[in-house]
Amino acid sequence: MIDALRIDLIMKEVGLELGQVTAKFGQFNSSYEGYAVLKEEVDELWDDIKTNAPFQHQRKEAIQIAAMAIRYILDVTGGPWVEPSREDDNTKQADRPGPEYHKMMEDLYKKHELGDAK
């Protein structure tokens, strides 16, 4: 059973981490940079698992992974509502989400904000 309250609290924690990291380091400049940072965080969690680090530390690494995954979505793919603004974007227009996708995501967001999400 998915506990919506716990997910909401975790997402708030991920959002705080995302805000702090983005303020400190700025946006990803490319998909390569985003991948490298995300891989580094996953490797750090894997090191914690292999050394049987305390769960609190593993949790911290998992929160960082989630934050970096969201950062990748926002900075590299443009997120659900905004197209990338970088000139070096190598994504073909045809590969980007179309208006139907944006409408679907907006509807899901509104549904969640109204408390209708299950």
Q: What is the pLDDT of residues 3-36, one digit of tens each?
A: 888 999 999 999 999 999 999 999 998 999 999 9
In percent, the amount of the chain with pLDDT more than 70 equals 65
Distance CA 97, CA 64 (A): 26
Average pLDDT of the residues in 89-115: 58
What pLDDT does residue 2 have? 75
pLDDT at 1 over 80: no
- Evaluated on CA atoms 39, 50, 24, 70, the torsion sign reads positive
What pLDDT does residue 94 have? 47
- Evaluated on CA atoms 19, 25, 95, 85, the torsion sign reads positive
Distance CA 86, CA 2 (A): 37
pTM: 0.67
Query: CA separation (Å) from 48 to 2, 33, 51, 57, 60?
Result: 26, 23, 5, 8, 10
- Please say whether the beta carbons of 66 and 79 come within 8 A: no
